[in-house]
Amino acid sequence: MFTFDFINASTRREIRERLGALIVDKYSDLFPSEPDAGILIKPNLNSNMNALTGNTTDLRLIAAVVEILKERGYKNITIGEGTNSGFYRSNISVISRLRVDSLAGYYGIATKDLNYSDTVEIDFEDGVTAEVAKECVESELIINMPKLKTHFEAGMSVCMKNLMGCLVGMKNKKKTHLSLAANIVNLNRQVRPHIHIVDALISMEGTGPSRGTPLVTNNIFVGRDPFLIDLICTRFASYNYRDVTPLAEAEAKGLIGSEYLGFAEEVELKDIYKFKKPDAGVIAGFIHNPKRQKYFLAIRNTPFFNYICSTGIAGRILFMTGLRQDVFIDKETEFKGLSLNKEKCTDCGKCLDFCPIDLELPGAFSGNIDCCIQCLYCYCICPENAIELNGELGFMEEQIRQYDKHVRGNIP
């Protein structure tokens, strides 16, 4: 039987309240009986771009899920992700930059970089095998928490694509690209999260996953079948599902049939958006064509090419041509505190709506906020620039340069 639910929410408190009610009402059969059962939360921490850009899973949603689990007494909860190869290769901890480790510390739970996990072997196309993190297969409850965004190679990235973060290290992630759509399907047949909670609060349209623009969509989707949820997300975004290559592949393999298509077409959705399509550019579009990609990969995976890519100039050229989606800035944020400029503050309440740990902002700025996880959501969202950082933005400076016009004052 198909299950699919959606919630409309835009504030931290709405997310917590409405998701909590839905999970208890319709998904409590998934809760393990033992309080020390191993639970894995697998968000999308694709890059160091925070959730307000539309790139990664919203900390407010992760916090809500952690609270729901802790409320039921679970003690062995881990937030795990095997972040994207470029950051991994550059020794940048995305888990730390996105303050997921601070959030976990606030709740007394663990984080794990799945790139360093023990492994379980799975089958890919053409007799190739790949290794996924053991936690993604053996945990008693696995919660997949993708971000809804467009993707210049796959069409769209939701539940199915998010499982690429279960692959351990660059060696295994690269194997997916030997036959991207088919291997994403293979991954989803062998790694089976129990529940999928999609962050479509601030989605990404255009040239995702890292160069698109945020689109406020204020939805959370919940279900048990990644193929079905991804199919419904194409309807939500007004996409042809066949333009999403893993879905087209799943259909070709007979995993999505008329029942799926009928349910996805009929299921109730409150909102439908028209997402802008990715435009990878001429060079990236030519190279990433599935017919040519394997030849590019053969070159890209050589030590010499990896060395060239690690130099600043080559990295910038690759970024400009669209062949690389991310910029890998090594300077960390130096956080010495936040303060409120009371003359600028209009008491609009946005900082309160966006604080993942629900601090009573802006009033709390005048007291002790030592528990602040330093995510800077409040700083980025404040329409009046009334929140001031004592310290240095570091890598966040580039992100704010690119996204401030989309975020500040534009996210209601």
| Choice between 120 and 372, CB closer to ligand SF4 | 372
Taking CB under 6 A as the rule, does residue 347 contact ligand SF4?
A: yes
Using CB under 6 A as the binding rule, whether residue 149 contacts ligand SF4 is answered as no
Closest CA to 109 of 70, 64, 61, 59: 70
**CA 283 to each of CA 213, 319, 322: distance values in angstroms, whole numbers, following the listed order:** 21, 11, 7
- Only segment of 72-80, 190-198, 314-322, 354-362 that touches ligand SF4 (CB under 6 A): 354-362
- Asked if residue 355 binds ligand SF4 (CB under 6 A), the reply is yes
* Total chain residues near ligand SF4 (CB under 6 A): 27
Tell me if 374 contacts ligand SF4 by CB under 6 A.
yes
Nearer to ligand SF4, 122 or 351 (CB): 351
For CA atoms 383, 387, 390, 396, the dihedral sign is negative
Judged by CB under 6 A, the residue of 4, 88, 377, 403 near ligand SF4 is: 377
Q: If binding is defined by CB under 6 A, does position 197 make contact with ligand SF4? A: no
**387 part of the interface to ligand SF4, by CB under 6 A:** yes
Pick the stretch among 161-169, 199-207, 296-304, 384-392 that binds ligand SF4 (CB under 6 A).
Answer: 384-392
Nearer to ligand SF4, 67 or 125 (CB): 67
- Determine the Cα–Cα distance for residues 206 and 166; give it in Å rounded to an integer: 25
Which region, judged by CB under 6 A, interacts with ligand SF4, from 17-25, 47-55, 167-175, 377-385? 377-385
HEC profile of 293-348: HHHHHHHHCCHHHHHHHCCHHHHHHHHHHCCCCCCCCCCCCEEEEEEECCCCCCCC
Near ligand SF4 by CB under 6 A, which window of 39-47, 85-93, 159-167, 378-386?
A: 378-386
* 382 near ligand SF4, rule: CB under 6 A: yes
Pick 318 or 375: Cβ nearer ligand SF4? 375
Q: Does 380 bind ligand SF4 (CB under 6 A)?
A: no
Listed ranges 5-13, 146-154, 221-229, 373-381: which one lies at the site for ligand SF4 (CB under 6 A)? 373-381
Q: Closer CB to ligand SF4, residue 52 or residue 136?
A: 52
Question: Can residue 386 be called a binding residue for ligand SF4 (CB under 6 A)?
Answer: yes
Q: Is 372 an interacting residue with respect to ligand SF4 (CB under 6 A)?
A: yes
Residue 66 binds to ligand SF4 (criterion: CB under 6 A): no
CA distance 166 to 132: 5
CB contact at 8 A, 274 and 238: yes
376 touches ligand SF4 by CB under 6 A: yes
Q: Which of 349, 360, 366, 391 binds ligand SF4 (CB under 6 A)?
A: 349
Comparing CB distances to ligand SF4, the nearer of 145 and 359 is 359
The least CB distance from residue 65 to ligand SF4, in Å, is: 17
Among 359, 393, 396, 407, binds ligand SF4 (CB under 6 A): 359
346 binds ligand SF4 (CB under 6 A): yes
Residue 5 or 358: the one with the smaller Cβ distance to ligand SF4 is 358
Joined together, the tokens standing for residue 412 give 């209601």
Of the candidate residues 61, 229, 378, 396, the single one contacting ligand SF4 (CB under 6 A): 378
Q: Which is nearer to ligand SF4, 14 or 230 (CB)?
A: 14
Identify which range of 130-138, 169-177, 240-248, 341-349 contacts ligand SF4 by CB under 6 A: 341-349
Shortest reach from residue 51's CB to ligand SF4, in Å: 11
Q: Where does this chain bind ligand SF4 (CB under 6 A)?
A: 340, 345-351, 354-357, 359, 361-362, 369, 372-378, 382, 384, 386-387
